[in-house]
Structure 1
Amino acid sequence: MGRLHPLEQPPILRDRVYATLEELIIDRTLAPGSRLLEGELAEQLDVSRNPVREALTMLAHSGWVDLRPRIGAVVHTPTAKEVDDFFTVRGALEEESARLAAVKATPGDVADLRGLLADGWVSVAAEDPAGMSTANAAFHARVGRVADNRVLDEVLALMKKRLRWYFSSVATARGAGSWEEHARLIDALDAHDTGAAAQVSRDHTRATAELYRDTAAADPADRT
């Protein structure tokens, strides 16, 4: 025990700046390719430049920001391979989660999912991308809890923020289609149809991935 030393307390302000900027990146208030100027951010957040600089370094380590010579910090623009790799892994995990959930779903689970489905439709009707993204994340998290596989749930949770980031750019375009697929998934879980649940989940992930790629390819400011 003699080798242990007191740990330095983390700079809380730095962490708050990090969390604020991370959320603005995820919901695309700060779009891919946007420059992040320390001075401007410090002024807008009413903090000194030091916690902003530290937060930008942390964001770079997390993959949200690129630090470029002579340019500075820029919001990361994902490559086509990053997107494909993400959805390949996410799709396989979601498919297994749906299959397990179809085995274990109770009437109470199904009722909860239908409640989240209703929340999603409210966001669709309001054409609220942030609301749709949040509702989508909540829905998939609930399916994960029904699947009741701790390791699978933990791995999916690690991907949640990046899923929100990708989905927020296509939430409006996916709109009704996404929630119709969610409704079919609930029906499959209610019927304990593992094959249908896996198929719906597979198609659901593929549709989001394809739309994201198409949207990015059509938008020079957000090209992957």
Structure 2
Amino acid sequence: MTSLPSGRRAPRGSLSAAATRRVERPAPLRQAVYDALLELIVNRTLAPGQHLVEAELAEYLGVSRQPVREALQRLQTDGWVDLRPAQGAFVHTPTEEEADQLLAVRSVLETYSAKLAAEHATAADVKLLRKLQKAGEEALGTANVERLVKANADLHAAVAAIGRNKVLSEMIGLVDRRVRWYYTPIARPRSRDSWNEHAELVTAIADGDAERAGEVMHRHAEQTRQTYHDRKAPESSTESD
């Protein structure tokens, strides 16, 4: 390798010129605090509109206030938290438009994923879906919202994976947490109908009937969307009284 003549500087774009720049490595604690707070928001332990006090959250999580502060800033960027001047941090309260847009996108993505699942499902895939269906039906008997939400998410994730379209699965994964956020308050009122619809879906996928699978998933997603709006309507009326 030829050295540079004396008195000449390294080209601006060379590695030597950028040697002092370093990529900041991810901080495990910072990420863990972010994930913990996000999960508390998604499962509604921290409810929409709730005031988030750094000191209380830090004590609850057993950490200092600094990673909590950083996590709240990141949660604001991601749309989960609102930081209000002179007031502090609050869990974001989704608007009707936000919910409708997300659930509409979910309907389109998952309708397509159901069709692909019916086209690609193997005997092992169908066995997995039936196992997840059984887990969901067992969760119905407990009336445990957390179990119902998890069972619902697990079955939908499996359908997406069975479709063998990695990009589609990733896109569905991106909206999964927000879907769970919206689904949690309606998990009980939707529970029986939802799992009946899931049973129809699994049967269509097992039969390799792509069109039927798509129709069932579309109806299922739209019913969830409508149930969410029906539930929000009385709340909005009460708030305006």
Normalised by the size of structure 2, how large is the TM-score?
A: 0.88
State the alpha-carbon separation in 2 of the partners of residues 184 and 222 from structure 1. 36
Q: For 1:57-206, what aligned pairs fall within 5 Å after superposition?
A: 57-206=73-222
- Which amino acid in the other structure matches residue 225 of structure 2? A
- Which amino acid in the other structure matches residue 182 of structure 2? Y
Which residue among 36, 42, 48 is the counterpart of 1:26?
A: 42
Deviation at 1:143, TM superposition (A): 0.6
State the alpha-carbon separation in 2 of the partners of residues 118 and 222 from structure 1. 38
Q: Deviation above 6 Å: which 4+ runs of structure 1?
A: none
1:42 equivalent in alignment to 2:58? yes
Q: Which has the higher contact order (CA 8 A, sep 6+)?
A: 1
Where does the alignment leave 5 or more consecutive residues of structure 2 unmatched?
1-14
Where does the alignment leave 5 or more consecutive residues of structure 1 unmatched?
none
- Which amino acid in the other structure matches residue 170 of structure 1? I
- Which amino acid in the other structure matches residue 102 of structure 1? A
What secondary structure sits across from 1:74 in the alignment?
strand
- Which amino acid in the other structure matches residue 214 of structure 1? D
State the alpha-carbon separation in 1 of the partners of residues 130 and 122 from structure 2. 12
Deviation at 1:12, TM superposition (A): 2.8
State the alpha-carbon separation in 1 of the partners of residues 203 and 187 from structure 2. 22
Question: CA RMSD of the aligned region, Å?
Answer: 1.7
- Which whole-Å deviations, capped at 9, do the CAs of 1:31-67 have from their partners, x for residues lacking one? 1010001122122223222111111101111111011
What secondary structure sits across from 1:219 in the alignment?
helix
State the alpha-carbon separation in 1 of the partners of residues 59 and 111 from structure 2. 45
- Which amino acid in the other structure matches residue 80 of structure 1? E
Aligned residues: 223
State the alpha-carbon separation in 2 of the partners of residues 218 and 27 from structure 1. 21
Deviation at 1:215, TM superposition (A): 1.4
- Which amino acid in the other structure matches residue 164 of structure 1? R
Contact 1:103/1:194 (<8 A) preserved: yes
Deviation at 1:168, TM superposition (A): 1.1
Contact 1:99/1:198 (<8 A) preserved: yes
Which residue among 211, 215, 224 is the counterpart of 2:231?
A: 215
Q: Which has the larger radius of gyration?
A: 2
What secondary structure sits across from 1:195 in the alignment?
helix
